[in-house]
Amino acid sequence: MYSRASARAQALATSKVAPRCKSTRAAPLRTSGGRAVPRAAALQKASASTALQRAAPTAAPMKAPTKAATRSKSMAAASVAPASTWLTTRALPNDLGEIHIVSSGLLESDTPGNGGLRVWNYADKAAATKEAEGLAVAMSAKHKTYNTGFAGAKVVCAADKPVADWTAADRETLLDATASLLEELDGAMYTGCDMNTTPAMMQSLHDRCGGRYVLAALANETCCPNTATAAGVLGAVTACVDGDVRGKTFVVHGCGGVGGAVAAGLVELGAASVKTVDLDLKRAAIPGCEVLDPEAKWWAVDCDALVPCSASGVLTAERASELICRSVVGASNLPFASVEARRVAEARCVVAPEGVTSAGAVIVDSIEHYAPLNFREAPPSKVYDFTFEAVRAKTDELLAAAAADGVSPTVAIPLVEEADPRRIGERYSSWLATDARDRVGGFLQE
């Protein structure tokens, strides 16, 4: 029987997007399926074994939150400038910039922080700080929503010169400094790929750390974290358009490793129209897609879902005021330039937050870390199907909770934090015992 799951796997397999993945080794699928004050300088210099604070004992069970309590709890996750805890900041030699490891809360080796290494040339230090904090909190939402076994954190290198001007020696300097920081944190932080970092860089960082502290699908060279993220985004898009993309219209902004796979997957799954936007017009020229002028008002195109897969902050308040899409499905981290921009968008359409919709890579990290044997042996299609179903089911749950409570999906995120005590990587192991292609209703329905 040709199932929807196998159709998804085939879509990702035949999309001709595998080479777009940051991992040049990834093969096409061939099988189915108000800011806190930084910690004291002494803490920054201390090793993690003595410096990291331990989490408080678990409190007694609480009553179900009220609508007001839910809204209050959610505001930090909804903001792009939340309170954060700086673990450490270090200047790079040769005036390359600074590395920040930022967390949205306390970290410890039992629940380590997890977030990719991003390298970016920011306008100023304040801009770098703002984005680093926002990214850490966005990661926290992902980890809590799916119970990955990790805490929200991010490694951000604020480069003092354009990244395109970096030499191979500059990148080696960055990796040396990052490895030193990860070693000091002694298992309380794991990182992986993000903007301007590659699987090859992660392999080198992994080697510098003695085979520890890096999660980038290194143990399974056939699995691509970008494609897994795309599979999750496709699941979220499906939930936002009533369960079926066929006959619908979509705009995908940014056609890199994730966006390219999303666009191609939508075409293969039967979307009526997929419009792509990228500063690199060749990258946007995906078979079956209509390329839009990146200088035109791509955000004001009438569509069922706008899927931002590019840099942070592309949707300003002004652009949000011109949206005529039915939904915005976050794929990139922090697609809105400000809290105001997000609220303007929420007044015009459904905004499915990236803390829920763009979790494919952290789901893969959880599998890689907590079910390593299954991950090493996993056909990519199984991982992608699992991710699709996990994110689709969670997005369905989020939209229903938001509607029932009369709040936006962003505000409702705490209502759908995963209650299953098993980490999602551990749930993947039990899910494998069933035939994913024949499941109905998503993997969460045991």
Nearest by Cα to 356 from 403, 445, 309, 417: 417
**Whole-angstrom Cα distance, residue 165 to residue 156?**
18
- Residues 234-263: pLDDT tens digits? 999 999 999 999 999 999 999 999 999 999
Q: What is the phi/psi pair of residue 208, to 5°? A: -65, -30
pLDDT at 221: 87
Query: Which residue bears the tokens 């993000």?
Result: 194
- Residues 145-176: pLDDT tens digits? 999 999 999 999 999 999 999 999 999 999 99
- Residues 353-363: pLDDT tens digits? 999 999 999 99
**Cα-to-chain-centroid distance, residue 413:** 15
Tell me which H or E stretch contains 312: none
87 pLDDT tier (thresholds 50, 70, 90): low
Q: Which amino acid is it at 51?
A: A
